[in-house]
Amino acid sequence: MKSKLLLLFAGLLRCYLPAYAQDFAWQAQLAPASQQGYHRILLSPQVTGYSQPNLEDVRLFNPNGQQVPYLLRTEVPVQYRTLFKPYQILSYTRRPGGVSEVLVHNPEKRSINNISLRIGNAEVQKQVSLSGSDDQQVWYVLKDRDLLYAIRNTKSTSEVKLLDFPLSNYRYFKLQLNDSTSTPLNILQAGYYDTFSEAGKYTRIPIQALTRRDSAENHTTYLRISFGQPVYPEQVALYISAPQLYHRPGKLVLGEQKVYERRRRKRRQARMKEISVPLLLSSNAPAALDLPRQKVEQLTIQIENADNPPLSIDSVQVLQLNRYLIAALEPNQTYTLRFGNEKLNAPEYDLQYFQDSIPKEMPIVQVQNFKILSAVKSKKQPKSSKILIWAAIAVLAVGLGYMTVRLLRDMEKKG
């Protein structure tokens, strides 16, 4: 009887727990992929707004209902990249047993203090010197003697060697290499490394309603932005047409949160604290404000006008940083995205161990055809499932208690 009760309890859990744990509130479809291979699936504000904060509950399914592994990637507001930018090598005169010369052109007369040489791998040591000129007639020494040591790269057939020297802006640089003890080097490029910033990509969040009120009493403009659903705004941009010169402080209110304070000889007391970000609108800078990631359904912008007339604001844009699922898709197949489940943990896919094998450039696929799933429209369903589960637990507890009493009685009789 004990084994029968355990089987009954396990059966009840199988019937109700998985169904409850795998309920999704929302479903969407992907636009058809045009080719086979990895794609970036751009998650819209509706997907991110109705999902868990870190998108742990997002699942991608193929036409057969099987999960498709994916990687989650998020744009960053500003990304710094370093690129190798080559100079033009006007000539490379190779003289085995003598002195080889490399003539490098600096047409913009950039002020530089180093030249990076991309050289084919070689187990050798070379003595080099460097001079500069503006007309290729008169040359001035920059570095009398330096050494290039073993040029070896285990991951590539070439290596970059840095040759530094005093800051100069000559139009031409001449590099001389002593080849008296070996054949010349295979110099592929001469250039420099440039670091530049790249802004992240954003998606515009649709605004359901925008209302404005200019208060003459406290000289403040109030902009109330409603979205009609939960969203995660990360940047707000205002487009101001007048006046030509302005400097207005203010703040952007994201909502309120409950905080607890412990007072002397009393229990902790809760109070509501405003969540806001300082704002400064100036005609000398773009009217854009970065926000902390916070789930909201509306925003309020307060602009202090002092004794000035209110600003003429043509439009307001609210943006979120792009978030993608990286997944391998087949062309002309219907893929389904499901999300909106507070109970799910983040999935674990083997794909995370092969990120280096995924190409950097991939086509983008949009999400479309949103719909709420009928299985979760009724809020009473999870409650009924919990009642049945607790009933099963109660039945098992009674059964185990009964079996325990019987075993004790049998032991007494045998004794």
Domain ranges of the chain: 1-23+374-415, 28-75+328-372, 80-198, 206-321
| β partners of residue 82 | 195
Do 68 and 30 contact (CB within 8 A), yes or no? no
pLDDT at 335 over 80: yes
Averaged pLDDT for residues 182-192:
88
Q: Can you give the pLDDT at residue 150?
A: 74
Q: Which of 35-49, 160-174, 229-243, 265-279 has the lowest mean pLDDT?
A: 265-279
Q: Is the pLDDT of residue 380 over 50?
A: no
Report the alpha-carbon distance of residue 118 to residue 177 in Å, rounded: 15
Can you tell me whether residue 256 is helix, strand or coil?
A: strand
Q: Which CATH class is domain 80-198?
A: mainly beta
Specify the pLDDT at position 302.
96
Length of the chain counted residue by residue: 415
In order of 110, 179, 363, the CA distances from 89 in angstroms are: 16, 19, 37
Q: What is the mean pLDDT of residues 388-403?
A: 65
From residue 192, give the alpha-carbon distance in Å to each of 11, 160, 162, 207, 324.
Answer: 68, 10, 9, 46, 33
Q: Which stretches of 133-200 are DSSP H helices? A: none
Mean pLDDT of 247-254: 94
| Whether the predicted pLDDT of 2 surpasses 60 | no
Range with lowest mean pLDDT among 78-87, 181-190, 264-273? 264-273
* The pLDDT of residue 279: 93
Of the candidate ranges 5-14, 160-169, 305-314, the one whose mean pLDDT is the lowest: 5-14
Q: Is 272 within 8 Å of 302 (Cβ atoms)?
A: no
Give the pLDDT score at 18.
Answer: 44
Question: Could you tell me the sign of the dihedral formed by the alpha carbons of 161, 165, 170, 176, in that order?
Answer: negative
Answer yes or no: are the C-beta atoms of 117 and 159 closer than 8 Å. no
Look at residue 415 in the predicted model and tell me its pLDDT. Answer: 59
Q: Parallel, antiparallel, or unpaired for β 172-178 and 209-215?
A: unpaired
248-257, 270-279, 291-300, 352-361: the lowest-pLDDT one: 270-279
Query: So what's the pLDDT on residue 94?
Result: 87
| 3-class secondary structure, 35 | coil
The answer to whether the CB of 278 falls within 8 A of the CB of 251 is yes
Q: What is the mean pLDDT of residues 230-242?
A: 94
Token pair of 111 as six digits:
């002020």
Torsion of CA 237, 242, 244, 247, to 10 degrees: -60
Name the helix (H) or strand (E) containing 377. none
**Which of 12-26, 172-186, 254-268 has the largest mean confidence?**
172-186
Does domain 206-321 correspond to CATH entry 1.10.1060.10?
A: no
Distance CA 187, CA 161 (A): 10
Closest CA to 28 of 53, 54, 46, 55: 46
Q: What is the pLDDT of residue 377?
A: 45
Closest CA to 164 of 148, 179, 178, 140: 148
Taking all residues of the chain, what is their mean pLDDT, rounded to a whole number? Answer: 85
Q: Looking at the predicted structure, is the pLDDT value of residue 71 above 60? A: yes
**Order of strands across the sheet with 323-329?**
71-74, 323-329, 37-42, 364-365
CA 343 to chain centroid? 24
What is the Cα–Cα distance from 69 to 73, expressed in whole angstroms? 13
- Cα 210 to chain centroid distance, Å, stands at 29
103-136 pLDDT, tens digit per residue, is 999 999 988 888 888 899 988 888 999 999 999 9
* Residue carrying structure tokens 């949160």: 257
| pLDDT confidence band for 180 (50 / 70 / 90) | confident
Handedness of CA 181, 182, 184, 186 (dihedral sign): negative
